[in-house]
Structure 1
Amino acid sequence: MTLRAFIESLCSEQCAGREPGSTGGQKARALVVDAFRGAGLEPVEQPVPGCSGANVLAPLRGEQDRWVLVAAHYDHLGRSGRHTYHGADDNAAAVGILLEVARALKKNPPRGRSVLFAAFDGEEPPYFLTEAMGSEHYARHPTVPLSSIDLMVCMDLVGHAVGPDGAPEEVRQSVFALGAERSEGTGALVDRLAHAEPGVVIRRFDGETVPPLSDYWGFWRREVPFLFLTNGRWRHYHTPEDTPDKLDYAKIAATARWLERLVRETCARPEPSVRFLPGVRDDASTLRSIISLTRALEPLSPMAAAARATAEKLLTRCDSAGRIPDRERIAMQMLVGQLESGLA
């Protein structure tokens, strides 16, 4: 099954919006299980009693008993009245990428660390940020010790092009990476690979730029190194119009290739383990990403130049560790909010 065909199957009426515990959710889970098996892996289902669903876990054992966890949730909002919430961007596209990476790494295994692929259930409301959330259940009942995970990569909302039609390709191809600063060496690795794959540009933001938005929450609070990949919310977020025909499949494929590269390089890192860095903040990376985006958007919006000027001024206020004074954070948060609204 092709990447697009798999995404379309998760968004079909048969899966009916993939609500945890529903018949549609069970059919979606069966599709994920079959796809992992088709990739040559041996998935197992981990029941999640709180949402009446189950996580799907597929290990790829390497040379070391250290792990890279690659994850995306497969559930969505189900149906409401006559409307089906298909959840193409949220989060069928990410599950498709997860499986593309699994296929590539099974065919040509990485050196060093092992990889655990996880399709989590129960990410959407009413389970979000509760013990019933599939990823939180996993963090409470892990199949590998959390202390052996050197990076948890979480994907959510990674299927759409960023910004309005007509925006520059360097904007449309953006994928935002949050949380790299929370583990030693991960930020430098992501920066080095930011432009490594044609068709996608990785832009780093600090993990605290936005409130916790997805399955990395349970790992972050347990001090597991993490990286959150997202294209941000768009105008079809949590609506029945989030359908497969609106996705950017070239960008999805490029994101899968980029993530495969990142996982390979993380598996091969020479350190015995990757150290979590509590309390670290990298506002400078956030501001540099804002400056780059707004500079590209200036031909389309007169507001972009003003936003860039503000971001450049704030960047000069960062200390040597890249942290902005607390009194300046509200200005940076306003810039982030304006940018998210303008790109939705």
Structure 2
Amino acid sequence: MMNLLRIFVLIFCIESNLSFGQKIDAGQLLEDIAYLSSDELEGRKPLSEGGLKAMDYIKARFQALGLSSQYPDHTQYFDFRNRRDGKLYENAANIVAFIPGSQSEKIIVVMAHYDHIGRQGEKIFNGADDNASGAAAVMALASYYTKNRPQHSMMFVALDAEEMGHQGAKALVSDFPFPLQQVVLNINMDMISRNDDNQLYAVGTYHYPFLKPTMQKVSEGRSPELLFGHDQPDSGMQDWTLASDHSQFHLNGIPFIYFGVEDHEDYHQETDTFENIQPDFYVAAVELIADIINALDQTNLSEK
């Protein structure tokens, strides 16, 4: 990993060259992804020392922002059995924060998983794009909404154990602190920090087409280019409808949008490091996602 001096120099350069009005703190966003994908966290496997450090880091951010939670210490603990090795994992943890809406008790859940696959021998799988990028974005968006209260209530969730079968999302849905009918939209971010073609996918509008016009309007002429797809059966594209944590909301009939990029050469490789993200793309992607969430928040989602 690059040393801290190089990280701060990179952050300064990115901040100095951004030309759009920022809704998020770009420097903090890049600092967060750099830490979460550092060797110190050893790939953030659930219940590993690095995974626990990631959990504490995100929890501390939510607490510093003064965010409330329906779970003690912002932590929803859960147990699960890994379907691959049969091992029982006890006290895995989702980190959950909440902002009440100014006009509605209906809820938008904004989330990303913070775990990755850990290490194998001397190889560390840092998981910068997958999915330190999404976890850092959740913190950035939570920070933004503490200063800009949303119309809908918003829940911000950093999920554990996605890589072991969406276990954190399953636990969240099965032990949700409100009736699930109050959730009108799920936003999931999983791999949003790099794409050589400057393209970001928004998955889910095939199933929930009422979301698409607003998203098209917000994204028109923007960078990165927002594409739709990867959600229609028999389209010739890989179907991502059940590919990540949003699946658990979709299976309960809750509209979702999954933001992500197509797989790259470093997917699930030890080369998925901070050095290989594309900071300009990443910051612009999170800004675009923020604008889309804002626009959707200002619509009456409960009537759709």
Distance 1:271 1:89 in 2: 30
Q: Aligned residue pairs: how many?
A: 258
Q: What's 2:134 paired with? A: 94
The 1:229/1:271 distance shift into structure 2, 3 A limit, reads closer
Q: What's 1:251 paired with? A: 281
1:3 paired residue among 26, 29, 34:
29
Deviations 1:29-76 (A, max 9, x none): 011111222333235110121143100111111121101111100000
Superposed, 1:279-294 pairs within 5 Å as none
1:16 paired residue among 18, 42, 45:
42
Q: What's 2:16 paired with? A: none
The range that moved more, 254-263 or 235-244, is 254-263
Superposed, 1:304-323 pairs within 5 Å as none
Contact 2:200/2:227 (8 A) holds in 1: yes
**Residue 65 (str. 1) matches residue 105 (str. 2):** yes
Distance 1:231 1:184 in 2: 20
Q: CA deviation at 1:181?
A: 3.0
**Residue 56 (str. 1) matches residue 95 (str. 2):** yes
Q: What's 1:74 paired with? A: 114
Distance 1:268 1:73 in 2: 26
Q: CA deviation at 1:229?
A: 0.7
The 1:271/1:19 distance shift into structure 2, 3 A limit, reads closer
Distance 1:250 1:42 in 2: 32
Question: SS at 2:223's partner residue?
Answer: coil
Q: CA deviation at 1:183?
A: 2.5
Distance 1:82 1:159 in 2: 25
Query: What is the TM-score of this pair, normalised by structure 2?
Result: 0.80
Distance 2:231 2:223 in 1: 24
1:116 paired residue among 145, 155, 179:
155
For 1:128, give the aligned amino acid.
G
Q: CA deviation at 1:142?
A: 0.8
The range that moved more, 174-183 or 24-33, is 174-183
Contact 1:105/1:260 (8 A) holds in 2: no
- Structure 1 residue runs without a partner (length 5+): 163-171, 275-344
* The structure with more radius of gyration: 1
Contact 1:179/1:207 (8 A) holds in 2: yes
Superposed, 1:36-55 pairs within 5 Å as 36-43=62-69, 44-50=74-80, 51-52=89-90, 53-55=92-94
Q: CA deviation at 1:144?
A: 2.5
Q: What's 2:229 paired with? A: 205
Deviations 1:209-228 (A, max 9, x none): 41421101111111110011
Q: What's 2:59 paired with? A: 33
Contact 1:68/1:150 (8 A) holds in 2: yes
Specify which structure has the bigger relative contact order, considering alpha-carbon pairs within 8 angstroms and separated by 6 or more residues. Answer: 2
Q: CA RMSD in A?
A: 1.7
2:267 paired residue among 224, 233, 237:
237
Question: SS at 1:180's partner residue?
Answer: coil
| Identity, % of aligned positions | 24
For 2:239, give the aligned amino acid.
V
Q: What's 2:206 paired with? A: 181
For 1:223, give the aligned amino acid.
G
